[in-house]
Structure 1
Amino acid sequence: MIENPSNPCLKDLLNEKPIVISQLLLMYYAEVDMDEIELAVVMQLIRFRDCLGQTYPTIDELKTVMTLGSDQIRSILARLIEKGLVAVVHSPVESNHGKSSYVLEPLWDRLLTAWQKSKTKKLGIPSQSDSLKKVYGTFEKEFGRYLSPIESSKIVQWCSTDGFSSEIILEALERSVLQGVLSFKYIDSILKTWETQNLKTIEEINNYEKKYKERRKNNKNSNPKQNQKLQDKYSEIYVT
């Protein structure tokens, strides 16, 4: 283990921004008809985007960090686009020349579907990929952009690890929109609050809120200071 490195270059290396690679990509790339070479190219696209801010690296730039030749890289990119895993988006800019970007969202959609099929197959239940796609699409619509790999993984975590239904997740998203606090951290806090109260359906949430409002109304004059504290605590989560 290196402690307090004195070499400036080594310090810069240790301070380099890490690359976040979704487990979905590593676990299910073969399920979406990708081979290891295509996976390596996709991972380089992620590195250029997340670490260097380049959404459309040139063939030469990709070549400098890979053992593949220019023709091979060009062929692999064309293959990924043909398979519908990577898309190229052209956005207008002030220079009138436009800006191109490699977009990986089609790949994330396919990976989510592969993950869902794997889960439902193990559990022996009907596929719910449509509901997962609905959650994913609704989030992108509300956020007004494509979701990052980290955000996509968070949705998968809510569904698989935490066991939240798509209806509950979308309800939490709606609450965050109404409160004007559109962030995954805030949505996660809403879901965890409902989980703590053992609220698993929208009906249970509505009933709990109704009782909460009644208690707050009844206690309004009993202890104003304490009542205000409770109101401040829950006002950001429960729509009043």
Structure 2
Amino acid sequence: MDDTFMQQFINAGQTTVSSLLLAHFHELGITNDEFLVYLELKSFYDAGNHFPEMATIAKRLRLSSTQVYQIIHRMIQKKVLTIDTTQDAQGRSQDQYDFALLYRKLATYLTQQKQAVSVEKSNDTRQQLFEQIETEFGRPLSPIEYETIAAWLDQDHYQAEIVALALREAVLNQAYSLKYMDRILLSWERKHLTTKQQIQQEQNKRQQRQQPNTSAAAKPTSAIPQIPMYNWADPADDDKQS
């Protein structure tokens, strides 16, 4: 490449296009022809010409001026392009193409996609929790039990992993009951234990408090049966097998 070409290349300037827009313009309802027109208008805008002649755009795209006008008109109808009128320093009116609506539409789309992914992930986590409880209980959940678990997640705003910890404690105590799990969750809530880490720290502290003293530890313990760490139920409760 000679120096003349390089100078021409540099003087022509650069047109930058968002990779997000390039990846999602079809999802925004923009056709290939409309996107080409956008690129042409963007290239002129980046060069300081905010309202290029229709004939100039048509010539570069090998289209008629009427076709370009129709494309621009469709883009305005789709609310991805506006023509704004401003005044210069001398008070003269001048028009310019504005794609602010397009960028706003892209931002809205990406936000909705992110929310959709979050909802899908939440639904998957919920389903996994239902299946986990059914597996540990060894039976299908009833419709009322489904509603109870959903209320823990949606109304009480317990995290799924917190409910799973309550399930673990219930299973350790052989108490296969949502009422038993509910007492565990309420106990944690009263203690302001709202995260998995906080609960595990509290469990470690409780376990340390229950450790035998030195003299007791010196005695043989091999014959001592394993006892569950917690007993959340009342002795009079009869719902452990419900």
Bigger radius of gyration among the two: 2
Shorter-chain TM range is 0.3 to 0.5
Q: TM-score w.r.t. structure 2 length?
A: 0.46
Which gives a bigger RCO, structure 1 or 2 (Cα 8 Å, sep 6+)?
1
